[in-house]
Amino acid sequence: MSVKPIFFALDGPNLNEFEFMLKKLEGHIFGVKVGLEMFISEGPKVVEKLKKDGWTVFLDLKLHDIPNTVRKATKSANNLGADFLTIHIASGKDALQEAYSSKNDSLKILGVSQALTSSTMDAKMSKGVSEDFLLAKQCSVDGVICPPSEIERTKNLYDLIVTPGIRLNNDTKDDQKNTTTPENAILAGAKYIVMGRSIINNLDFVMNELDI
C-alpha cells in the first residue's frame, strides 16, 4: 500500500469526532495536523495520544512571540514528540533562529508567511512571501507552509514544502481563495499537502482512488 503525502487536518475541538476516519486512514496517509482549536480544547495530551497511536504529528500553532518564548515553546513541542511545528516568519530573525537551535533532530520547523490561503494573492503579496521565505532560509528553518500559487517559485529554495488550500475538482472552495488540486500541488513541487474537509467529504476516494 502506498502512503499518500497528505496531512489530515483535525479541524475541530474534539479528537473523538475523527476517530472513525483516523482508523480508516491509517496506513493510507503520511500524518495528521493538530491546529490551535484542537490543541487548546484537548491540551498537549492530544499530541501524545496521536503519537502513541503511531501518527506523524504536524503541530500547527503558528508561534509568533519573543525569542525566549519561542525557544521554550519549541522545547515543549520536542517533549511532546511533535514531528513538525509552525512559526510565523514575522516573528523575526532572532525568534526563527531560537526555534531552529532549540529543536531536536526529529522536529522540523515550518515557516509561515504573511499570506494565508484565505487571502487573494497579488503581486505585492507574492513579493512579500518570497522575502519571508528567503529570511526563513537564512535562519535555517527546515521548510515552509506554501500557498498553492507560490509553489513553483519556492521549490528552488526549499525541498520541504507543505501546501494547504487543497481541494478536489468537485469541492467547493468555502473560505479558501488560493487553492489547487492534490495532483497539481504535488506536480508543482509540494512535498506534502494538507487536506481537511476534502477528506471528510470524500474519504473512500482519497484512500483508494486519489493518485498522488
- Would you state the torsion angle of the CA atoms of residues 171, 163, 17, 211, taken in this order, to the nearest 10 degrees? 60
Helix (H) / strand (E) element for 51: namely helix 45-52
Whole-number Å distance between alpha carbons of 116 and 119: 5
Active site residue 62: yes
Contact 43/76 with Cβ under 8 angstroms?
no
Contact 167/181 with Cβ under 8 angstroms?
yes
Contact 162/146 with Cβ under 8 angstroms?
yes
Q: Which of 98, 117, 119, 118 is nearest to 109 (CA)?
A: 98
CB neighbours of 7 closer than 8 A, spacing ≥ 6?
Answer: 29, 30, 31, 32, 33, 58, 162, 192, 193, 194, 195
- Set 24, 51, 62, 75: catalytic member: 62
Which residue numbers are catalytic? 62
